Amino acid sequence: MTTTTPQPLAGLRVVEFAHMVMGPTCGMVLADMGAEVIKIEPIDGDRTRRLLGAGSGFFPMFNRNKKSIAIDLHSADGVEVARRLAASADVVAENFKPGTMGKYGLDWAALSQANPRLIYVSHKGFLPGPYDHRTALDEVVQMMGGLAYMTGRPGDPLRAGTSVNDIMGGLFGAIGALGALIQRGITGRGMEVQSALFENNVFLMGQHMLQYAMTGRHPAPMPARDNPWAVYDVFTVKDGEQIFLAAVSDAQWLAFCDALELPDLKAEPALATNNQRVQQRPALLKTLRERLAQRPADALAAAMEAAGLPFAPIRRPEDLLDDPHLAATGGLADVTLPDGDKAGQTVKTTLFPITMEGQRLGVRMHPPKLGEHTVQLLHAIGYADDEIERLRAASAIA
């Protein structure tokens, strides 16, 4: 599979010791931009290949454009293969517990001695400090880092509906790697980069922390927040459909009233300014809900769009597979599933949300089958066929 989209990282070799979401996201970003990313998996594979339910999309989403080699790091031969691969890398990325990579001589201290140009990206639960011994999950840091509090109703903390910190942690790891590559071009030396779930989450909370610093008031969870705009909500309309409608300025309020044929509200002096409308918000929303309840969502959307006003239909993730904007702009691409009951089937995946030279960064390689590139990669670092067979017979590779 090939692509003609820009590949600014072509020629860069990344060796990825990563599983689940955070580390693989970093590798995917670098791979999408053209790097050769070698995913080192255990003999039985990255466990996300076998996850069910909400985890079933992890592997095909975050492992496209990568090569797979299966190695037993519990064997001396397997460790030697991993070290030789790491020695050939520009970037090594990992997301295992602190101390894990050191057991195999695959940590920053060991690898940088052999290759001072190496960039080493560690993805952890916490940056070094009092918490770094704890086991972190996206859910854990959302709860302790304020995001679940801000997302849920008062007294009912709720995690965000996607792996926001895992994905963001991988993005920050990739950003750090890119910065380190630029620095290496100047100094000739690599560096260690660290990214962590908890610190990601705290970064997201920065606006609310500063809100408290500025106002002295505790930020309320989003469902109970003091809204700065009166019309900024979800409305249930005809046939139970839902749509988000907003008017965030006085000019937008006038256009809103015209677009939705609400002349009496437009003429009401008590609703003339945004702050007046905010003071009247409960009563105004009640009136709007009653007036809009029997209007079709499509008609409301058309009126809002024609007036240049903000609106959004309430969609489920699967609805995006048929989104006309994504279809027209190339925001989705085909990949072939490597595992599970649907192995071999072609499905749509989302692409990295940027363009380069006006093009989306495409899929050059489908998510790999376990060990799909083992022989190719071992040949490239000097292993002969008989050595590869010996390693396979000893179960050091698969």
For the domain bounded by 13-205+332-393, which CATH number is listed?
3.40.50.10540
Q: In the sheet that 119-124 helps form, which strands lie side by side, from edge to edge?
A: 66-70, 36-41, 13-17, 91-94, 119-124, 192-196
Q: pLDDT tens digits, the chain, 398 residues: what are they?
A: 556 789 999 999 999 999 999 999 999 999 999 999 999 999 999 999 999 999 999 999 999 999 999 999 999 999 999 999 999 999 999 999 999 999 999 999 999 999 999 999 999 999 999 999 999 999 999 999 999 999 999 999 999 999 999 999 999 999 999 999 999 999 999 999 999 999 999 999 999 999 999 999 999 999 888 888 999 999 999 999 999 999 999 999 999 999 999 999 999 999 999 999 999 999 999 999 999 999 999 999 999 999 999 999 999 999 999 999 999 999 999 999 999 999 999 999 999 999 999 999 999 999 999 999 999 999 999 999 999 999 999 999 99
Structure tokens at 105: 């001589």
Q: Domains of the chain: which residue ranges?
A: 13-205+332-393, 227-317
Closest-CA residue to 44 (of 70, 18, 11, 67) = 70
User: What backbone torsions phi and psi does residue 121 show, to the nearest 5 degrees?
Assistant: -110, 115
- Between CA 196 and CA 135 the distance in angstroms is 12
Per the CB < 8 A criterion, the answer to whether 243 and 312 are in contact is yes
Residues 6+ apart with CB under 8 A from 192: 108, 112, 119, 120, 121, 122
Q: Using the 8-state DSSP alphabet, how is residue 21 labeled?
A: T
Angle at 133 between CA 131 and CA 136, to 5 degrees: 75
**13-205+332-393 and 227-317 have identical folds:** no
Q: Which CATH superfamily is domain 227-317 in?
A: formyl-coa transferase, domain 3 (3.30.1540.10)
Q: State the CB neighbour count (10 A cutoff) for residue 194.
A: 17
